[in-house]
Amino acid sequence: MFLINCPFCGEREQSEFKAGGEAHIVRPKQPTELSDDEWAEYLFMRKNIKGIQFERWNHVHGCRKWFNMVRDTSNDQIKAVYKMGEKPPVK
Amino acid sequence: MKNKYSIFSLIKNAFSYHENWEKAWKDPEPKKEYDAIIVGGGGHGLATAYYLAKKHNMKNIAVVEKGWIGGGNTGRNTTIIRSNYLWDASAGLYDHALKIWEGLSQELNYNVMFSQRGVMNLAHNLQDVRDLKRRTHANRLNGIDAVYLNTEEVKKFCPIINTSQDIRYPVLGGTLQRRAGTARHDAVAWGYARGADEMGVDIIQNCEVKGIKRNGDTVEGIETTKGYIKTKKIGVVAAGHSSVIANMAGLKLPLESKPLQALVSEPVKPIIDTVVMSNAVHAYVSQSDKGELVIGAGTDDYVSYSQKGSHDIVEGTLNAILELYPIFSRMRMLRQWGGIVDICPDASPIISKTSIKGLYFNCGWGTGGFKATPGSGDLFAHTIANDEPHKLNAAFNINRFVSGDLVDEHGAAAVAH
């Protein structure tokens, strides 16, 4: 359990949020052109990093807005929170 | 040859105050080269080494473990064993394991305390009833024992369950697999370690893998905290850390590692003589031989390697437990812990070759790998030794995420996810 600083609502308990997995996976521009391998990469393959990971979160029991987070998955420490569409902070 | 454990060896050692038992396994330094190296000294890894030595005559092999053997998810699960999975591929895989469990203590000369006390899965709504009935029929077609119970039969089988129809999620029925049950999780790791050690397998603890050396698309060896070790075959059985090892080899896996929690109560006299799982409200409970209630909670939904989970997950599980078993309302919880589980998108494992020659992965067991330990080891050993999967694990190859031929056990397997 940890606290998350929602960019819209401020600091709230993690249980108010829903994790949305790895961030910055771009939807293919030409889906019809994709090979099976590329689809597998897009749909299923994940970095699943132990350490600094970029991920999406949704304040599902709050403002219901999506945002991004930089978190150290080895100790659950949050390094940065930023809005959708913004460039990830350089670490 | 190791001395056989028996009542006579117990009496004999009693005369020397149990101070002269031989070591169950050696503590060797790594050799320069092995024919195969298993990364991960949990139950699955040690079982893999055991069957490689026993059935495939590969004796020059090692198991490397970053901590101590059985210290990861092998020692953190709730020890439930069952094979009542929906799909044919899963039924084959898990029942293969269950059949090995039935003779495992004799085979290993090590008491794994396998107890076929039955596993009951409860239905709390109409869809549960339909799903569980469907699964019962599917199980029977695959030769797996399964019966559907109505509410009265559930109450008769486990009298402490609250079957009142005015609770929030009333019990509408359930399934029962009588051959299912529990085992002593540490003993499984120790038994396989002792058996593998006897056949010459080096079990190297406190040896963390730091890198995988490749020559083009072929593996050459591993870098570890105890130095470089040469090998042609690497079998990775690293559970939550599978992706970390895969990254070292430049591979990506379809896994997410998440904390899964369990907790035990203070010990009490025997009160529940079976295992009861309830998918819809996420509560499952059994009682250990020490008398503790063993309770499995859920996974957190975020990736974490911290080996601790959120308090609200435990709270939710205990709420459900208390509604189903009001008799536990004044029990106190003794310990709580977390393990990191590697979850596949289809909630089925991967036991597979990879695009890199000599690199094999056995991962993705998610929240339910303990039950499969013997079968997983047997099939992974077959895959490594022959460079080809056994027919029972052919469906669990990594290419299913490309072909789309998934084994979708999410929700279908009575699994509590």
Q: Which parts of chain B register pLDDT below 70?
A: 1, 411-417
Domains of chain A: 3-83 (3.30.2270.10)
Best A3, A44, A54 residue to mutate vs chain B (most B CBs within 10 Å): A44
CB neighbour list of residue B37: distance below 8 Å, 6 or more residues apart: B61, B62, B63, B64, B222, B229, B231, B233, B234, B235
CA gap B243, B245 in Å, rounded: 5
Portion of chain B with pLDDT greater than 90, in percent: 95
Q: Give the one of A45, A55, A75 whose C-beta lies nearest to B254's C-beta.
A: A45
Q: Which of residues 236-255 of B touch A (CB under 8 A)?
A: 241, 243-244, 247, 252-255
Provide the pLDDT for residue A70: 96
Residues in chain A closer than 8 A to B245 (CB atoms): none
Q: Angle between the B185-198 and B43-55 helix axes, to the nearest 10 degrees? A: 30
A53/B310 CB distance under 8 A = no
Closest CA to B38 of B59, B57, B58, B63: B63
Provide the pLDDT for residue B280: 86
pLDDT in tens, A10-47: 999 999 999 999 999 999 999 999 999 999 999 999 99
Q: What does pLDDT average to over chain A?
A: 94
pLDDT in tens, B54-80: 999 999 999 999 999 999 999 999 999
- What chain B residue is nearest to A46 in terms of C-alpha separation? B254
Provide the pLDDT for residue A87: 86
> Which ipTM did the prediction report?
0.94
B306/A18 CB distance under 8 A = no
Q: What is the DSSP string of A28-46?
A: PS-GGG--HHHHHHHHT-B
Residues in chain A closer than 8 A to B254 (CB atoms): 40, 44-46
Residues in chain B closer than 8 A to A14 (CB atoms): 310
CA gap B325, B162 in Å, rounded: 6
Strands (E), B179-307: 181-182, 202-204, 209-215, 218-224, 227-236, 256-265, 275-278, 283-287, 293-299
Provide the pLDDT for residue A90: 66
Q: How many CB atoms lie within 10 A of CB B362?
A: 33
A1/B312 CB distance under 8 A = yes
- Helix (H) or strand (E) holding A21, with range, is strand A18-22
A19/B401 CB distance under 8 A = no
User: Up-side HSE of residue B61: CA atoms within 13 Å toward CB?
Assistant: 32
- What chain B residue is nearest to A69 in terms of C-alpha separation? B302
What separation, in Å, do the N-terminal and C-terminal C-alpha atoms of chain B show? 44
Provide the pLDDT for residue B318: 95
Cβ–Cβ < 8 Å for B132, B148:
yes
Best A48, A55, A78 residue to mutate vs chain B (most B CBs within 10 Å): A48
Provide the pLDDT for residue A1: 76
- What chain A residue is nearest to B313 in terms of C-alpha separation? A15
Cβ–Cβ < 8 Å for B274, B157:
yes
